[in-house]
Each structure stands twice: as structure tokens, then as C-alpha cells.
Amino acid sequence: MTDAAALPGQPRGVVTSGPATARAVNVLAPNPSAMTLDGTNTWLVGEPDSELAVVVDPGPLDEGHLRAVVAAAEQAGKRIALTLLTHGHPDHAAGAGRFAELTGTKVRALDPAMRLGDEGLAAGKAVRVGGLELRVVPTPGHTADSLCFHLPADRAVLTGDTILGRGTTVVAHPDGRLGDYLDSLRRLRSLTVDDGVHTVLPGHGPVLDDAQGAVEFYLAHRAHRLAQVETAVENGFTTPEQVVAHVYADVDRSLWPAAEWSVRAQLEYLREHGLIPGAEPF
């Protein structure tokens, strides 16, 4: 068995519902899959001495899960005062409307289409509820509307799908763009260097206790994949499907459709930077 401390980001291991930091509690959604790993992590966040809490990513439209989140808050002696979304993918956000009905909360998101009765979320802004502070960190790339939330009191960051607790994330082309994603990873690295963030609370997978190690791994992985894709094109693999079959040959074929999104984003990035020929979008 591999020591978790030796893995990128130092994952804690088994993903379960329960406390992760002094202020963040995970309620694991029952939607495991190859894409969602153990399921969606719905985060209940609040100051220990406050009666109010914030929920980040209520998850899929699953009545049992949504009620379990409400029950977790009640068990902690808290009332859910606000719902936040890291991005609009259904495994994170499809339950937001029903959750708003159950809790009477407003839903804040970057994408206006995902908001319910409240304003959006912008860079440099902070969400404050019951003494809790969550700072908005724009991290486009996985999707155009992806956000992270910096929880300074716990030296933690809630990353949605921008950084996962296991494996790497997909750049969901064409909505997601690789250049944006690389910039977002560098922004998160700055949080680890300048703001002392050491814990990643991801949208899927285990909590990571080495945030800087996780970010560095992601950046190195992207650089490696870009080099592989560039070499594949030089060797005559020119379509996204051909590149996936060549570069991702050791990856489960069930993940190839998702890998193709990332490959299209990589090809677009390489073309825009003049590293491969072509003028048409992939």
C-alpha cells in the first residue's frame, strides 16, 4: 500500500462525511462514478461558535442527500444561511434550486443563470456569514465559471473541480480553456506561498494536506501532457481522437471522451502559441 503522505498533495485517504477542518464539514453525495470519484463533496462551513453556516455545492438533485446536508447542519446546531456554487456542473449544482426551497437560502454563483435571488461573486470580494469569511478566488479553466473559496481562518481553500483530491481534472473544452486553467493554478499557488494555505477541500476525493504540493503536481502534469500532445502531433497524430488514443493509451477507455475535452483544449493552446500548425479551432 502506498503511503498517502508520499502521494501528490498528501491525501487523507478514505472519503467520508464528517469534519475536515475546524470550520468545514463534508457531506458526501451518493453519486460515485469514474468522473465524480467517491461522489460530490458538499461542504458545510461555519464558525464553531456561530449558529449560521454556508453550504458550498449542494450537489446533485438527490432529495436524500439534500436533506442529509440540512440534517448535518441541524446536528451541528446551525442554520444554513447561504448557498454558494463553485461552478454550474450538475454534480455540484443541480440540487441548488431544491436546496434553496428546503433551506430558504439564496444561491450565489459567478454564472448569472445559476443564481437564485442574490448577487454574483467577483474577484477580491468576500462572503461573510456569522463571523465566517470566505474569499472569492476566480479560477476559470475547468469551466469558464469556476471559482474557489479561500477560508483563511483554516488556511484552507475549497477548490470545486479545479483541484481534485485524487487524480487530475478535465479542462472542459470549449467552455474551459487551458491558458485560463494554468493561470488559475498559479493563482492558487500564490495562496499557498503568500497566504499560508495548506489544506485543499476539493469537490471530489479526499482532503489534501499539502496544498502547495498538489498545485505543483498539477502544473507539472499539465506541462508533461502538453509536451506529449505536441510530440504526438509532430509524429502525425493530428485529430483529437488520434491524440487521445496515443497519449492516453494507458487510461481507462471509459474516460477517453473526457480526455478528448482536455486534448482539444491542449491542441488549441499549442496552436494559439504557435507550437503546432493550424488555424481552425479544434
Of the CA atoms within 13 Å of residue 151, those in its CB half-sphere come to 27
DSSP three-state, residue 76: coil
User: Is 138:132 a contact under the CB 8 Å cutoff?
Assistant: no
According to DSSP, the residues that pair with 204 across neighbouring strands are: 40
DSSP three-state, residue 57: coil
Distance CA 115, CA 113 (A): 6
Closest CA to 157 of 234, 211, 231: 211
Query: How is residue 155 annotated by DSSP?
Result: T
Q: Please indicate whether residue 91 is annotated as part of the active site.
A: yes
DSSP three-state, residue 137: strand
Which one is catalytic: 62, 91, 175, 210? 91
DSSP-derived pairing of the beta strands 147-151 and 156-160: antiparallel
Residues belonging to the active site: 91
